[in-house]
Structure 1
């Protein structure tokens, strides 16, 4: 049994940088009463930032506690979205968008910042944006970004295959740094991104209207990036974002559109296909993870 638990932990390493992440809490609630060898409680143990109180509350035997490597939860700055802080990601994102649009480049804010304007805020340390221009216009973007003080921080082109891009789509990305914060710039090439740009909605921040990716398109974006290193490592922050968008978004997610897109773009054997359809059907997260990762 101990060997089996080790194998599950290796395949289900979950990203949890806060104590306690809502997705971890959901796992904890879902896992009550489940046999210990199922993924729910084991997935909880995979987090290294859980409080000892939670571990004690699980009343697990020593056989399973061996798997937990305790480490202090990282300090999280008191900045969420665009609330405070000179270099808060939202503030920097708006500065960058304004600078780009002054150079004739239309930018749509995506990622967790887009989530933050329609759900409860979640801290994020980086920025994702979508551009309407295609790969052939990258030079124009790079020139404009450099002119406003941005620095290239990665090679221009398709991201390495392990970084969330697990399909054969042509995904074009430029990584830059602006005011000390990393920005991933996606051009309208990843699946669903053209619709994401077309369906962007406007939000007034600091008495100016800004374009944000729609919750429906953001759901697709989060499904695409469920894993950023391998199909066997699911990032809980993206799972948490999907649940937040479905449950508390001020603008409803078009579940039928997301389901149809996932079914069209991904084979039924893909872990992202399994995880999305499990979430959409209301299945317990612990069971979804176990099935999606073939545990």
Structure 2
């Protein structure tokens, strides 16, 4: 039997040994491959504790188990109910740029308006004018108009007008100039308060346009009342009615300006202008100044 198995006996001594066909893995077709469709074996995942493809499991690969454990951790991290850990300096979202509110300089919404178009726009086109000038400082028109308004405002109060008219010229001129400067300082303070409240309520506007436009609104809206008060007196009934109407108009313009300049809804914009409106009503409209 041993000689027969080793090829030393029998009639098959001169025949070449037949090549045994390669056995396909379990579960696949054992048909021989054709020249046009070569047989391809699908890749199998390495077994637990085994080596790479084609190696028996009992050889053992110290790196195969680590790789499989790493793949299992990644799979578990991406399944619902699991979280994936990242290092402190690692960005899990790649190089995507994050939004930085207020990080860059604001982009102007339009060119700067000349002073004539600015003054007429506040009265005739308040919304587009405030939106276009939200990123432009208006110190020149604001300081000039407010100072001129302060020079005439002293004649809108009965007692102050009588004192200025009866006083000598050397005393009347400094009194009028000080009134003009006082209105400029008051306008700066009230505009700064309005800007601060707007920022506290979530606004993102700049302080220079807010303060300058608030000074212009304060002066322009009170001009009709001041014009009649210079001739009729501050206690006249028509002057009082005009004072209330122009105060409501000032509230609407303040709300529109803060809303456009700070991107706030109108309730918050009105709340940011509340202190300045109360100050104007008490000091100027009702003649308490």
Same fold (TM over 0.5): no
Task: Please report the TM-score for the alignment, with normalisation by the length of structure 2.
Answer: 0.25
Which structure has the highest helix share of the two? 2
Higher relative contact order (CA 8 A, sep 6+): 1
Q: Higher strand share goes to which structure?
A: 1
